[in-house]
């Protein structure tokens, strides 16, 4: 198996965990949004419950965009996640408290206020910090910083490099702490970037800017999807020995033990849409289907050889079977969403799941269980029949708990569910309407997308005995 050395670090056995957007956390120390060090108590809590994976959404800098999948840099972290209270000499943080109390994240206000605070902090501390050897080493070892700082330039190039140093230091310490407790952090590496990114500006030859990436029409998106990202220029990347990808993975390895390859089928072929056209007018690139598997194999093998992180692929949607065969051959887990796992049009028995998969009940792009059951009655009826339940348009509490338990006992190696699927078992940890527990609706620009926040604070989550007891119940065979 190609990833033997990576599996040795993580362990070729059953793993259980939770998925959460970092932005959705809030602690008593948070400044308007979830922050890097908010993960520390979550790591402690997971270790106590025998949960050994924490899966995050992407945390790269996205500028003013709220979507974590629209990064303006392949390497830079989003400074909005800096834990201000833990910076040496931090003061004057009380103004952030009203923003932390809001039921949803007020990105513009948080970003503006944080960057203003951080610029004052930079003016007071840059001279001292920049003289330190670890800062100088950081700049020397990360030559991409200059292009990123030039891109962000508002007369503040040193400021943006300073912020990246602080981000890297905080998140590297979080990873080290997780390692000490044998909890694995799983990052998310989208295969695409914003067309307005620092990378597209500084290395445009690596991208095909004539087409926009998207997805063809399917059952859930009958009009298709238009993402607006440029395609990779694989021919040029190949000539450059894939150095851009190797650098990206090397940076991510500072922070994660495992990484999610978002839209892995896009490494094989991707839906390219001519500028100004609708998604259904696109076509796959490359157009020759015989090239898909050789291209995907070359890229995945390069990625495997370039990092010690364990890859897990997002292979949802319409994916050629050859892709899934190759993932299994390379020892790369795919993703199995229980509601979509079918065998001859009926739900797949749990004992027949491919071990090289991650089982989950939902994703950041799909409805929570309660909403799915309500909105997709035919799928719900099929699942109820599979479980020998009498069908009802409302999913009962006991049924939700049983589905969550089932998700932890398929034959997959990984079992990871969104944290809110567990929190909403308890009314005091739930928002009033189940729809408000959704993170994103793909293909839309709703103002609620990516603003989701867990109702309880981190301190309430880790102190809840009923929640801890629920996890213990779910993990028991």
Q: What is the mean pLDDT of residues 419-426?
A: 98
Q: Is there a domain that residue 138 lies in?
A: no
Structure tokens given for 63? 């500028």
Structure tokens given for 360? 């989950």
Q: Is there a domain that residue 152 lies in?
A: no
Q: Is there a domain that residue 213 lies in?
A: yes
Domain count, the chain: 1
Q: Is there a domain that residue 372 lies in?
A: yes
The percent of residues above 90 in pLDDT, for the chain, comes to 91
| Residues 6+ positions from 440 with CB-CB distance below 8 Å | 67, 364, 365, 449, 450
Q: What is the mean pLDDT of residues 199-205?
A: 97
**What's the confidence (pLDDT) of residue 374?**
96
Helices (H) and strands (E) in the chain, counts: 18, 14
411: domain CATH number is 3.20.20.80
The H or E element that residue 213 is part of is: strand 207-215
Give 212-231 pLDDT, tens digit per residue: 999 888 776 788 889 999 99
Give 140-184 pLDDT, tens digit per residue: 999 999 999 999 976 699 999 999 999 999 999 999 999 999 999
Q: Is there a domain that residue 423 lies in?
A: yes
**What's the confidence (pLDDT) of residue 154?**
67
Q: Is there a domain that residue 160 lies in?
A: no
CA atoms of 379 and 189, how far apart (whole Å): 31
Give 344-360 pLDDT, tens digit per residue: 889 999 999 999 999 99
**What's the confidence (pLDDT) of residue 221?**
77
Domain of 276? 4-77+172-475
CA atoms of 343 and 345, how far apart (whole Å): 5
The H or E element that residue 131 is part of is: none
What is this structure's pTM? Answer: 0.97
Query: 466: burial class by Cβ within 10 Å (0-12, 13-18, 19+)?
Result: exposed
Are 59 and 83 spatial neighbours (Cβ–Cβ below 8 Å)?
no
């Amino acid at each position: 198996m190609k990833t033997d050395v990576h599996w040795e670090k993580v362990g070729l056995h059953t793993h259980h965990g939770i998925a959460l957007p970092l932005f959705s956390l809030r602690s008593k120390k948070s400044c308007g949004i979830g922050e890097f060090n908010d993960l520390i108590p979550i790591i402690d809590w997971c270790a106590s419950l025998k949960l050994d994976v924490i899966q995050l959404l992407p945390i790269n800098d996205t500028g003013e965009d709220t979507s974590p999948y629209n990064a303006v840099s392949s390497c830079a972290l989003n400074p909005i996640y800096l834990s201000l209270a833990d910076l040496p000499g931090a003061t004057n943080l009380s103004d952030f408290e009203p923003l932390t109390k809001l039921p949803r994240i007020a990105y513009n206000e948080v970003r503006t206020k944080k960057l203003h605070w951080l610029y004052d902090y930079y003016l007071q501390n840059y001279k001292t910090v920049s003289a330190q050897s670890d800062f100088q080493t950081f700049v020397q070892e990360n030559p991409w910083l200059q292009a990123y700082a030039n891109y962000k330039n508002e007369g503040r190039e040193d400021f943006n490099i300073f912020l990246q140093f602080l981000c890297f230091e905080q998140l590297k310490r979080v990873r080290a702490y997780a390692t000490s407790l044998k909890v694995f952090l799983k990052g998310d590496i989208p295969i695409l970037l914003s067309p307005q990114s620092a990378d597209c500006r500084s290395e445009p030859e690596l991208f095909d800017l004539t087409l926009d990436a998207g997805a063809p029409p399917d059952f859930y998106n009958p009009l298709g999807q238009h993402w607006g990202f440029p395609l990779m220029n694989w021919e040029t990347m190949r000539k450059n020995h894939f150095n851009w990808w190797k650098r990206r993975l090397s940076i991510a390895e500072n922070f994660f033990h495992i990484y999610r390859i978002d839209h892995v089928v896009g490494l094989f072929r991707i839906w390219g849409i001519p500028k100004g056209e609708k998604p259904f007018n696109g076509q796959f690139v490359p157009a020759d289907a015989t090239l898909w598997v050789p291209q995907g194999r070359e890229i995945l093998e390069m990625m495997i050889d370039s990092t010690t992180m364990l890859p897990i692929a997002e292979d949802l949607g319409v994916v050629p079977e050859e892709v899934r065969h190759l993932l299994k051959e390379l020892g790369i887990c795919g993703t199995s969403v229980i509601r979509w796992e079918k065998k001859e049009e009926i739900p797949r028995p749990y004992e027949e799941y491919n071990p090289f998969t991650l089982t989950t009940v939902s994703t950041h792009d799909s409805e929570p269980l309660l909403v799915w059951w309500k909105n997709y009655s035919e799928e719900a009826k099929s699942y109820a029949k599979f479980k020998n339940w009498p069908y009802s348009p409302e999913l009962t509490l006991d049924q939700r708990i049983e589905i969550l338990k089932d998700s932890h006992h398929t034959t997959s190696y990984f079992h990871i569910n969104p944290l809110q699927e567990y929190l909403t078992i308890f009314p005091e940890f739930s928002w009033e309407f189940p729809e408000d527990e959704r993170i994103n609706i793909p293909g839309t620009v709703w103002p609620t997308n990516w603003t989701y926040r867990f109702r309880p604070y981190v301190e309430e989550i880790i102190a809840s005995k009923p929640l801890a007891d629920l996890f213990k119940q779910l993990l028991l065979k």
